[in-house]
């Protein structure tokens, strides 16, 4: 029994997609937690966000998103994609994928709201689409081997 559980765990661990989903869940907790901590620091309780001004909401969200992006980069670099690259450009590519994914998320949400009235349904559809876009973007662009080799040649390193 233990060996079956161990084999299942190893199979899941070795699947980059599963590691990506795990990091995404962890990152959601971190980003949302930081945003809530910002609300608390502004003097609001956890269930009092309806009283938060637009500026306060913007500040809390930007801080939560920024911390979440750095957290996501670290986990995806070392855990999901196991990147060995030592370049600031890797982080820049990662942020670019995040910005594109955020824009797609915003655009798809606006579009989906026009055709689907249930918030939960269109949020789930948009989230799933953005997860796929994000995984492909990070796999091919942020941590893609093609980009690592090209940049290393330009830098003159191995």
Summarize pLDDT for 12-46 with one digit per residue, the tens. Answer: 889 999 999 999 999 999 999 999 999 889 888 77
- Domain match, 99 and 115 both: yes
Q: Which domain holds residue 96?
A: 85-158
What is the per-residue pLDDT for 149?
52
- Domain match, 63 and 136 both: no
- Binned at pLDDT 50, 70 and 90, residue 153 comes out as very low
Geometric angle at alpha carbon 145, from 126 and 7, rounded to 5°: 70
- Domain match, 154 and 94 both: yes
What is the per-residue pLDDT for 158?
47
- Domain match, 68 and 114 both: no
Percent of residues, the chain, with pLDDT higher than 90? 56
Percent of residues, the chain, with pLDDT higher than 70? 89
- Domain match, 47 and 115 both: no
State the average pLDDT over residues 70-98: 95
What is the per-residue pLDDT for 122?
87
Distance CA 71, CA 77 (A): 10
How many distinct structural domains can be found in the chain? Answer: 2
Q: What's the pTM?
A: 0.81
Q: Which structure tokens are listed for 87?
A: 């370049």
The mean pLDDT of the chain is 87
What is the per-residue pLDDT for 81?
95
Distance CA 158, CA 117 (A): 53
- Domain match, 19 and 77 both: yes
Distance CA 51, CA 64 (A): 19
- Domain match, 73 and 121 both: no
* Residue found by looking up tokens 């989906």 in the block: 112
Phi and psi dihedrals of 66, rounded to 5? Answer: -65, -45
- Binned at pLDDT 50, 70 and 90, residue 156 comes out as low
- Domain match, 64 and 127 both: no
State the DSSP code for 51: G
What is the per-residue pLDDT for 147?
59
Q: Are 105 and 126 in contact (CB under 8 A)?
A: yes
pLDDT at 119 over 90: no
Give the residue from 64, 82, 100 where a domain finishes.
82
As a whole number of Å, the CA-based R_g of the chain is 19
């Amino acid at each position: 029994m233990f060996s079956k559980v161990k084999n299942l765990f190893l199979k899941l661990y070795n699947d980059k997609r599963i590691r990506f989903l795990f990091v995404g869940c962890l990152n959601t907790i971190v980003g949302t937690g930081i945003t809530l901590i910002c609300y608390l620091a502004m003097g609001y309780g956890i269930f009092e966000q309806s009283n938060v001004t637009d500026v306060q909401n913007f500040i809390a969200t930007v801080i939560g998103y920024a911390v979440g992006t750095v957290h996501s980069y670290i986990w995806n670099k070392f855990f999901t994609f196991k990147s060995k690259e030592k370049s600031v450009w890797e982080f820049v590519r990662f942020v670019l994928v995040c910005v594109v994914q955020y824009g797609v998320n915003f655009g798809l949400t606006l579009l989906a709201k026009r055709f689907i009235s249930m918030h939960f349904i269109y949020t789930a559809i948009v989230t799933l689409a953005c997860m796929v876009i994000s995984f492909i973007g990070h796999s091919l662009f942020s941590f893609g081997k093609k980009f690592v080799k090209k940049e290393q040649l330009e830098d003159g390193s191995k």
